[in-house]
Structure 1
Amino acid sequence: MIKTEKLSGFLEEEKNSSSEGENEESFEDGDICEDYELDKIFPFKYKLAQEYAVSLQKEYILSLCSDSTFTKAAAGISNGTIQLFDVVAERGLSALRSDFTQTPGSGSTVCGLRFLDETSNCLLVGTTNGYVRLFDLRAQREQALFDTTSESSTSKTITSFDCNANSRILCAGKEKYQDNVFLLFFDIRERRKLGGYFESHTDDITSIRFHERDPDLLCSGSTDGYINVYNIKEETEEDALLTTINTESSVDRLNWHKNVYEQDIISCITHTDFMLYKCEDGDEISKFERPVISTAIKRTNPANCNIINVHNMVDNDMFLLVGTNLRKGEVLRSLHVFNKTLVPLSNFEGNKQIVRESVYDMKTKCLLTAGETGIVSLWTPITNEDSDCTASKLKAVKKYKTKKIKPY
């Protein structure tokens, strides 16, 4: 495992190679204000507490998850391996030994990770060749295998999966195959297939999310542009389908939220926009197109805007995490989603990669990010103690400089 101090040479090599073959137009970007203005505009301050490079072979991190207590995390790497971490806000990340490789067969990669329950002892790992594996992290061995490849009419490729709130049901979404698109369900405890939904989508499934508290509520998104909401207690797919939402775009990522009235809200990140919908009737609450988001993070070129994820905060608030695709994606900022507007929240200075995955803990306000350079970064909020320490150092430097004797 390579710690922060050993990253510099690797990152410099990445930086030099990244400029080759780039479209010159994409480099026409920058902040719309000065650095000192950014410091005032983004009021909630973070520091880069620690970072780990999971590989020196230019591997991507494709998946990232944490347990419910934010004490363990797992990163799925493009070479098919999993890296486990202990997470302690005060001490940073501690890499754990993981002696299992999740990719049986060539050309298969990790397509998702989920901790099964609050004990953090069991991890679900989805691979693109059609399997979801359940691992016991204490014994470092496989406990169960859920096979989605048994039906000849379905694709061999899993694109997304999730488990429900009581850790009983697993749902896996499939790639389109011969005009068929499947959502397949498994009973995790009994290790058996329950059935599937076959008519709700017409293209690749891109996102599956169970409700965080209601084990029977599920939403799915697809490149066909539709978001479907289901009550999986119902016996048939037709009865289970509660709401269909047409985003008129290609769905990339879905998440569940609550509004001030404790009503369920679904957020949707497409490949161009960010939207919020009411779960009950599918009505659109707000829509933010990429130029609006780019302006909100104080950047000039919407073409470089990278909409990463949306996370829940305390009191049913939420924030949108946004970066850039410029060079190595050094710009990483967050926006508070407030009253149908986007308000600058945090500027994560020191980011070294295009971020693709993130996990947030509302209790500690810590953020984990990972992406295309294979780095897992832990961001922690700057406390008053940190600020006082920094101020003391600045005063000491200033005082030292005033006593310096000139050589002439």
Structure 2
Amino acid sequence: MHTLHAVASSTLSLPTDSYIYSITPSAPGTFAAISSDDSLRVFDAANLDRGSVVSNATHAGVTALRSFGVGGSQLLATGGRDGKVKVWDVRAGKSVVEMQTERAAPVLSVACNAETNIIVAGTELVSSQAVVAFWDIRSPQKISLQYVESHNDDITELQYHPTRSNILLSGSTDGLVNIYDTTIADEDEALVQVINHGSVHHAGFLSEHAIFALSHDELFSVHPATNPDDAAQAPEPVQFGDLRDPLGCEYVAQLCLGAQGMYIAAGNKMEKQLDLVPLVSGDSWSLDRENLWRLPGAHGEEVVRSVCLDEQSQSVFTCGEDGYVRAWKPAEGGDSSVQSGSGSAKARPKEKKKDRYKPY
């Protein structure tokens, strides 16, 4: 086991009792954050207190944040319960593109494809319909494509394939992870793979040929990405089951991918710690618990919401329901930096809030 130590922490000047939902890389050396006060902020990785407010009111209920680099521009995309998706120019400090779902269906997830100028949103279930909606940001007034039958509950995850800009993954609380060829308008024909996992908290591509799924009750699995043009039998998925017992955690925040590896971010509120457990591939997939990185103190008794592994600064950044962003590094002269990829000061008091595997 290796240890990371908190070297900085900041509330980003947020109002008291705010949650920080998500952080994501913005321009080099900077990160963006969305929070329960519906603000969008950016901060400096080298100095967490050096930052700015892009918007104090991104949405009536912000839900999603993604980086969206187009032509060297410093852009961010957000989604909200107001049924809108917005693109923000950080340097200008304003929204430059705005899109709207049909019937103002609340947006729960967003994915961006800079290569094709496409933004896609996954909606909440409204009138028995959950929609995967696509826009070309050059023509934001109209939806360019919709898939409306593949999910029958809230769409919680969207992600593009790492190398194929026409392949999109979606995950839903209906238990399905779907893979689409987005060059095909007909929804039945566009659906190239379906994985039945359980209510999806997070899902995505581990590589060009592997997909992970994490459920809301911490069930985890890794599946081969099937190729419809390849008649060879795909390998069996690896079912890890409930990660809480084997990892000694209470919840799994997310899976972090970096240039040098993949990590399961597993939190324990009672023990006030977060572990980054390597997920390794070989003949199969396994968890390397011997070489986990522990973040002692984490965010106290509050849930860690988001983790970023920063290659440039060789640091780990976390945010949570205590309203803090924290930066972590190995101790001087200690372990080498955690290999990276997507701080513990005294937390301020806060009031608790109610909180078919079948390829086609």
Question: Do both proteins adopt the same fold according to a TM-score greater than 0.5, normalized to the shorter chain?
Answer: yes
1:271 is matched with which residue: 213, 216, 227?
A: 216
Distance 1:359 1:386, change over 3 A: closer
**2:8 equivalent in structure 1:** 50
Task: Tell me the SS of whatever aligns to 2:53.
Answer: coil
- Kindly indicate whether the alpha-carbon contact (under 8 Å) linking 1:80 and 1:101 is maintained by their aligned counterparts in 2: yes
**Which residue is equivalent to 2:256?**
311
Give the Cα–Cα distance (whole angstroms) in 2 for the partners of residues 312 and 62 of structure 1: 19
**1:65 and 2:20 correspond:** no
Please give the alpha-carbon distance, in whole angstroms, between the structure 1 residues aligned to 2:136 and 2:35.
Answer: 27
CA distance in 1, matches of 2:236, 2:317: 30
Shift of 1:48: 1.2
SS for the counterpart of 1:117 is: coil
Change (3 A) 1:224 1:268: same
2:87 aligned with 1:142: no
Ranges in structure 2 where 5+ consecutive residues have no aligned partner? 228-233, 337-360
Q: Which moved more, 1:173-182 or 1:160-169?
A: 160-169
TM-score (norm 2): 0.81
C-alpha distance 386-183 of structure 1, shift in aligned 2 (>3 A): closer
Query: Are the aligned partners of 1:232 and 1:240 in contact in 2 as well (CA < 8 Å)?
Result: yes
Question: Hey, which of these two has a bigger chunk of helix by percent?
Answer: 1
Q: What is the DSSP-based 3-state SS (H/G/I as helix, E as strand, rest coil) of the residue aligned with 1:98?
A: strand
Which whole-Å deviations, capped at 9, do the CAs of 1:153-204 have from their partners, x for residues lacking one? Answer: xx62111111125261111011111211111100013324202001111111
Q: State how far apart, in whole Å, the 2-side matches of 1:125 and 1:367 are.
A: 23
Aligned residues: 319
Point out the structure with max Rg over C-alpha.
Answer: 1
- State the distance in 1 between where 2:95 and 2:287 align: 44
CA deviation digits over 1:357-402, x for unaligned, max 9? 1122346542211111111111223453789xxxxxxxxxxxxxxx
Letter in 2 for 1:216: N
Q: Kindly report which structure 2 residues correspond to 1:7-406, keeping only aligned pairs within 5 A, or say none.
A: 42-43=1-2, 45-54=3-12, 55-67=14-26, 69=28, 71-88=29-46, 92-104=47-59, 108-117=60-69, 119=72, 121-148=74-101, 151-152=102-103, 156-166=105-115, 168-192=117-141, 193-247=143-197, 249-258=198-207, 263-272=208-217, 273-280=219-226, 284-290=236-242, 293-297=243-247, 299=248, 305-315=250-260, 317-326=261-270, 330-338=272-280, 339-344=284-289, 345-352=292-299, 353-362=302-311, 364-382=313-331, 384=333
> Which AA in structure 1 matches 2:169?
C
SS of aligned partner of 1:266: strand
Preserved CA contact (<8 Å) 1:167 1:188: no
The answer for the alignment partner of 1:11 in structure 2 is none
Contact between 1:165 and 1:210, CA under 8 Å: does it hold in 2?
no
Aligned-residue Cα RMSD (Å) equals: 2.4
Relative to its length, the structure with more strand (as a share) is 2
Identity %: 26
Q: How far 1:82 sits from its partner (Å)?
A: 1.5
Q: Which amino acid aligns with 1:100?
A: S
Residues 159, 206 of structure 1: 8 Å contact kept: yes
Q: CA shift at 1:244, angstroms?
A: 0.6
Q: Is the 8 A contact 2:22 2:35 kept in 1?
A: yes
Paired residue secondary structure (2:188): helix
